[in-house]
Chains A and B, each alone.
Chain A
Amino acid sequence: MPNLFKIKPSVGLLSLPYSLVFIFFFFIPLVLTFIISFWDYNEYSIIPDLILENYKYIFENCFSFENGMCVTFKTYLSTFMFCLLTWFFTLIIGFFVAYFLAFYVNSLTWQIALFLLCTIPFWTSNVIRMISWIPLLGRNGLVNDFFLSTGLTSAPQEWLLYSGFSVVLAFVHLYTLFMIVPIFNSMMRIDKSIIEAAYDSGANGFQILWNIIIPLCKPGIVIGSIFVITVVMGDFITIGIMGGQQIPSIGKIIYVEMSYLQLPAAAANAVILLLLTLLIIWIMTKMIDIRKEL
């Protein structure tokens, strides 16, 4: 009789519990979202159907430009602007922080310590980190005090808080780490002798940065950019809190529709948001192979 216990189970089976979580809480939910985006609904329930009304509603009046831009396009445009600004600032700041850590800090202990210093806030509450800007940027905040006492302005500045400015500031504050980590990782892989060779051949600091370091950091830059852009694309919390609940975003539309139980409408918006996000990622991953970078 063959002993069943002698059949060697594949090590791959160890990934089964992990896979089950993603099947149940990732795949099925996303598939359901797609299906339900074609359903009908009333005030009480969602009704199985196959209609395009939810999508039509989103783009209502969007393709006749008589009355200016439709609400949907305005919202998308505003979200894209947040993406672009956040991406730009996190990239510049993240790159130079990583550059400092990778090339100017020589001892590994210090490198780890300073890297940890940048990472710790990531493990604390985002909401707290957002509201901690209130005492600085508010009408009676430190920045306005400074402006008034130095005579730079004659009245408190209102644009500092609950505005597009404070939203971008909070995004940069929260998510620069997403740039630092992958770019730092790329930089640590650069063979220092390449840089020395360039230096010995007479390249100046800027040439080394532009022709050697930046090209070799491309994978890190792309990964960081994907993280930052996707997180801003779907955001509704930061834009909500830092925008004083006044600034629209794609994520916020979904959130509001959900609170009114217009679930199929929310699902249709979610599908479009997801497709847009995937499109952006697809374009960016054309440039690198993520798996090699870990």
Chain B
Amino acid sequence: MFSKKNNTYYICVFFFSLFVLFLYGPTFTIILLSFQGPDGGLTFPLNGISTYWFEELWRGGSVVDIGSAFKRSIILGIIVMILTVVLSVAAGLAFRKKFWGSNVLFFTTVASLIVPSIVLSLGVALQFRLIDDLTKWIGSSLEISWVNDSFQTSLGMYSSGLGAQLTWTLPFGLLIMFAVFNRFDKSYEEAARDLGATPWKTFKEIVLPLIAPSIIGIALFGFTLSYDELARSSQVMGSGNTLPLELRGLTTTVTTPIIYALGTVTTFVSFTVIAISVGFYLFLKRKKGI
């Protein structure tokens, strides 16, 4: 039926190749265009080849403070990554047995993936606004001087921003854990338990090494989804913007290839992270021979 010699096979191969071209083609055009000479514009033809726009980007020429936005995004990405791994592995372990509220938590997880991001962003922004009002009210009624003198807002990258991003990354983490434990052979840990290992020791020595490759997958989702996250964090980042937020602002104001150079840089970061993760995943898989 699915022989490689009939026409359908070749049609499918052709179709798939077209799809891959559709996926990657545009990105490669902007990578190409970012290496233009100083006279380059936003479209073809290429006006010379140079790294002028990268140098311009490095100098911060005409663009908002990209360097610090970049740094903020990386730091936030790493924090989100760590929290995503720890919280979703822990929750994944809990979900192996039914527990009180497990159904509600499962549906919340799915709901969080499909709730419109702008609604969630608005909700979190409202919540932190109320927290601010409450804090100021308590500060003035109890005459707490630091609140009255210096409190501005609780909204910020590491409070509301972090939380909003977690509602997007954690569901991916938990769903990966579900997929892992659905195919997990329990006999290894039962053997360990029979031999007298404590639950912690069983987890550390048996379960963790077995699920390690999947944890790399969760970490990859955690970092990349945070690093590129835009819709949920759009209303809740406070004063310091992350890179995607700056980029979005630049799309309407910048008309030079500097935006392509920036695109090339962030795509390079993403590709590097993906490559490291895949390499690490393969390494762990091979090491365990599973």
Q: Which residues of A does B touch, CB under 8 Å?
A: 10-15, 17-19, 21-22, 24-30, 32-33, 36, 46, 93, 96-97, 99-101, 103-104, 114, 116-118, 120-121, 123-136, 138, 140-142, 145, 173, 176, 195-196, 199, 205, 208, 226-227, 230-231, 233-237, 241, 245, 251, 254-255, 258, 263, 266-267, 270, 273-274, 277, 281, 290-291, 294
B130 surroundings in chain A (CB, below 8 A): 32
B99 nearest in chain A by CB position: A12
Q: Which residue of B lies closest to A45 (CB)?
A: B133
Closest to B220 in A: A123
The reply to whether A173 and B224 form a contact with Cβ atoms under 8 Å apart is no
User: In the complex, which residue of chain B has the Cβ closest to the Cβ of A30?
Assistant: B123
The verdict on B63 contacting chain A, using a C-beta distance below 8 Å, is no
Give Cα A19 to B231, complex, Å. Answer: 22
Report which of A13, A25, A236 forms a contact with B167, defined as CB distance below 8 A.
Answer: A25
Q: Are B266 and A125 in contact (CB under 8 A)?
A: yes
Task: Please report the C-alpha to C-alpha distance between residue A56 and residue B92 in the assembled complex, in whole angstroms.
Answer: 44
Given contacts A12-B99, A104-B12, A126-B228, contact A266 B122 (CB under 8 A): yes
A135 and B122 in contact, given A237-B248, A245-B252, A277-B114 (Cβ under 8 angstroms): no
- A125→B247 contact, CB < 8 A: yes
Q: Which residues of B contact A245 (CB under 8 A)?
A: 252
Cα distance A267–B130 in the bound complex, in angstroms: 14
Partner of A15, one of B105, B125, B178: B105
B42: interface (CB < 8 Å) = yes
* A129-B123 in contact (CB<8A): no
Chain A residues, CB < 8 A from B273:
123
Whether B23 contacts A270 by the Cβ 8 Å rule is: no
Q: 10 more A-B contacts (CB under 8 A) besides A100-B15, A140-B44, A263-B126?
A: A10-B99, A12-B101, A15-B102, A22-B108, A22-B170, A120-B274, A126-B244, A234-B119, A237-B248, A258-B122
**B256 at the A interface (CB under 8 A):** no
* B286 CB-CB contact with A under 8 Å: no
Q: In this assembly, does B188 line the interface, its C-beta being within 8 Å of a C-beta of chain A? A: no
| Across-interface contacts of B225 in A (CB, < 8 A) | 123
Please, could you name 25 A-B residue pairs with CB atoms under 8 Å apart, sorted by A? A14-B94, A28-B123, A29-B126, A30-B119, A33-B122, A100-B13, A104-B9, A104-B12, A116-B278, A118-B23, A123-B220, A123-B221, A124-B27, A125-B244, A126-B244, A127-B247, A128-B247, A142-B29, A227-B113, A230-B114, A234-B117, A235-B116, A263-B126, A270-B122, A294-B182
> DSSP majority for the A interface?
helix
Interface membership of B153, Cβ < 8 A? no
Task: State how many angstroms separate the Cβ of B109 from the closest Cβ of chain A.
Answer: 8
Interface 9-residue window, one of B54-62, B83-91, B205-213: B83-91
* Distance to closest chain A CB from B3 (angstroms): 9
Q: Are A141 and B44 in contact (CB under 8 A)?
A: yes
Checking A22, A97, A196 against B105 with a beta-carbon cut-off of 8 angstroms, the contacting residue is A22
